[in-house]
Structure 1
Amino acid sequence: MRIVVTDPIISRFADLLRENTLGNDWEFVAGRPAKEQSAAIARAEVLVCARLSSADAAASPAGLVHITGSGADRVAVADLRQGTVVLRTAHHERSIAEHILMVVLAHQRRLLDVSSEMRSGMWRSVATELETPLHRTLDELTIGFVGLGGIGTETVRMCTGLGMTAVAVRRNPEAGSALDAGLEWVNPMEDLPELLKASDVVVLCLPLTDETRGLMGSRQFTQMRGDALLVNVSRGAIVDEDALYAALRDRTIGGAALDVWWDAPEGIDAPESVSRFADLPNVLATPHHSGHARQTFMRRAMEIAQNINAFGQGRAPGNSLQRGAILH
């Protein structure tokens, strides 16, 4: 089969892909001009991509389109020809869960402020200045999950193992067992206000859909605790950008850890929204890299290879979008 790869990240694992799918013709076109990429897409029997425009999707003859992540919002799936098998992969759950735990601890311990003070020569602690805030330990905190897929479930396991109380709202509260997952309760999305009021940390880990776009706005921020941390590892557009900026500027909430943004970078130049938020002292800003562990991409490459083999042999591959919507 002719396999075309347009995703530059998974292309770093080209040798692993080739070694585990013998007998195929691989073409890695990431970094080439857009016209060359489109031409390659138009001759691919299998396409491996992170993004796919409507025009390229409509011109694609591929029988299998394998998305290199768990989200399909950047791939024009609806414009692919009828019968195309569309697959996803994840394997980022552990890495993102560790990121969430890291930012929770950094926020509680005021890591950025303390490091800045130390670099300036200031030794400020409760022993030298009595007004210095005291931090809380993890077993005093309630973490609330908006969405409870693989990322949320892995983070619940990790955080409750360290003594945190976990609650969640999700589209289908009956999916899975709250008791098995270590959650105190799981409610439908309509109970989001209850979760916001109960949580010291609010984690957004749900896909971007028409229902979730703008889910967190001014009203929701006033429902959060005044010292609460908002963590977004899903998509920027789930949050109203201006409303979040105002909530952080006015200290309506305690802080935000943003790993996803409203605009895409131009090369290594961050979008304008990054500098806007990064100037605020209560923001932890990262470049959408919470899932970028080496383990993540090696496991993705292996699953992609296995699914390509299954497709070539006429067997049913896993994680097909045609077999149901993404749960959250």
Structure 2
Amino acid sequence: MTPAGPAGPAGPPMRVVLADPILDRFRAELTSGGADGHDWEFLAGRPDSEVAAGVLGADVLVASRVTEAMAAAGRGLRLVHVTGAGLDRIALDALPPGTAVCNTFHHGRSIAEHVVMAALMLSRRVRRAERLLRQGRWESVAVDPGIALGDTLAGRTVGVIGLGAIGGEVARMAAALGMRVRAVRRDPAAPLPAGVRPDRVEGNGGLPALLAESDLVVVTVPLTESTAGMVGAAELALMRPGALLVNVSRGPIVDEDALYDALAGGRIGGAALDVWWGHPKDGTGSRGYTRPFDTLDNVVMTPHHSGHTVETFAGRAAEIAGNIARLAEGRPLVNVVRAAA
């Protein structure tokens, strides 16, 4: 028998507020699959004060950022659904105890592809070669015997800091490229992600050895009190000369001054930074960094968009819609990071 399609919400319609500008592009996916029929209010791009006012009387808030004012206004919220994995921009302690909080992922594959792309750009010195070619200068080993040859990724060692949704995909993809994979994680005895078989997995105490033995270090841990400043001057000094660092997690996990000094001084080979130490809300003003990383040829810079693919956000929208339907129907939610008291 073919199951019947969605027939709207079970029970009274809920009031749902969306305040995420990226997910706003996926309204059709969000309002389908059992999440249709609710009273949706789309406030993406509005000032925080308007979002806080809009949350009054809402049952569900879908957002990547929740201020204390929004939390205070949402005394009747049954669910805050974060539109990504990170919780560092969510005022969890300000939310009422009856509010459940869920997050969502679907970005692992997209970010892992970005890591591979950035690592290859650094290994092949793409940024410098492209800049010079745009200026009319052909820099190549074919015309200049002093130019260093590039490196392949196969046969090299990648050290993954964190082995969650992103780290697992990085490990899986790196192994497929012929790289040796080692990782550190908070609980080394936890089950490995499906299909991931690193050469070595250790607790965070194994970080010094990982840094010393890796050609490519990829930071994927979430930002917490214990991970802020996890990679500082002492840790960077352990890395091999010529080793590469890719940060796709959060900027403050790596010390900004120490990283710039290591890159500018040639202590490490290069870095790919998709995350920064600040985050301009509207894309202007703060660049996200204070040291002149933009002057260095051994840095690949992107504006926190390594996971920004259709696949990532379509998957998130569908999962959020599913959780809204579960809430309306009284079924257990998925990806619960804080249950309602």
TM bucket normalised to smaller: over 0.9
What letter is aligned with 1:304?
I
8 Å CA contact 2:88, 2:223 repeated in 1: yes
Q: Please, what TM-score do these two structures have when normalized by structure 1?
A: 0.95
* Structure 2 residue aligned with 1:280: 296
**Residue in structure 2 matched with residue 298 of structure 1 by the alignment:** 314
**Residues 115 and 274 of structure 1: CA distance in aligned 2, closer, same or farther (over 3 Å):** farther
- Corresponding position: 1:81 with 2:65: no
- Alignment check: 8 A CA contact 1:202 1:230 kept: yes
Matches within 5 A, 1:86-101: 86-101=101-116
- Asked if structure 1 preserves the Cα contact closer than 8 Å seen for 2:53 and 2:73, the reply is no
Corresponding position of 2:31: 18
1:180-236 CA distances to partner (integer Å, 9 max, x unpaired)? Answer: 513110011011110001111100000000100011111011000110111000001
Question: For residues 85-134 of structure 1, what are the alpha-carbon distances to aligned partners after superposition, in whole Å with 9 as ceiling and x for unaligned?
Answer: 11000100110000000011111111111112222332332222212111
Which residue of structure 2 aligns with residue 57 of structure 1? Answer: 71
**Between 4-13 and 297-306, the greater mean CA deviation after superposition:** 4-13
Q: Which residues in structure 2 correspond to 1:1-328 (within 5 Å)?
A: 1-20=14-33, 21-60=35-74, 61-177=76-192, 181-269=196-284, 271-272=286-287, 273=289, 276-322=292-338
Q: CA deviation at 1:58?
A: 2.5
Amino acid at match of 2:176: G
Which segments of 5 or more consecutive residues in structure 1 lack a partner in the other structure?
A: 324-328
Determine helix, strand or coil for the equivalent of 1:296: helix
Larger deviation, residues 288-297 vs 33-42: 33-42
Q: Which amino acid aligns with 1:188?
A: G
Higher RCO (CA < 8 A, seq sep 6+): 2
Shift, 1:270, TM fit:
5.8
What is the TM-score of this pair, normalised by structure 2?
0.91
CA RMSD of aligned residues (A): 1.6
Could you tell me which residue of structure 2 aligns to residue 326 of structure 1?
A: none
Pick closer, same or farther for the CA change 1:183–1:38 going to 2, 3 Å.
same
CA distance in 2: counterparts of 1:42 and 1:266, whole angstroms:
23
CA contact (8 A) 1:178 1:185 kept: no
Question: How many residues align structurally?
Answer: 323
* TM superposition outliers: structure 1 runs of 4+ over 6 Å: none
Distance in 1, Cα, partners of 2:54 & 2:280: 25
Alpha carbons of structure 1 residues 126 and 217: separation in structure 2 relative to 1, 3 Å: same
In structure 2, C-alpha distance between the alignment counterparts of 1:307 and 1:19, rounded to whole Å: 11
- Once the two structures are overlaid, the 10-residue window that deviates more, 289-298 or 26-35, is 26-35
Whether the 8 Å contact between 1:178 and 1:184 is mirrored in structure 2 is no
SS in 2 for 1:19: coil
Could you tell me which runs of 5 or more consecutive residues in structure 2 were left unpaired when the two chains were aligned. 1-13
Report the CA distance shift for 1:94/1:267 in structure 2 as closer, same or farther (over 3 A).
same
Determine which structure has the larger helix proportion and give its number.
1
* Partner AA of 1:14 in structure 2: R
2:5 match? none
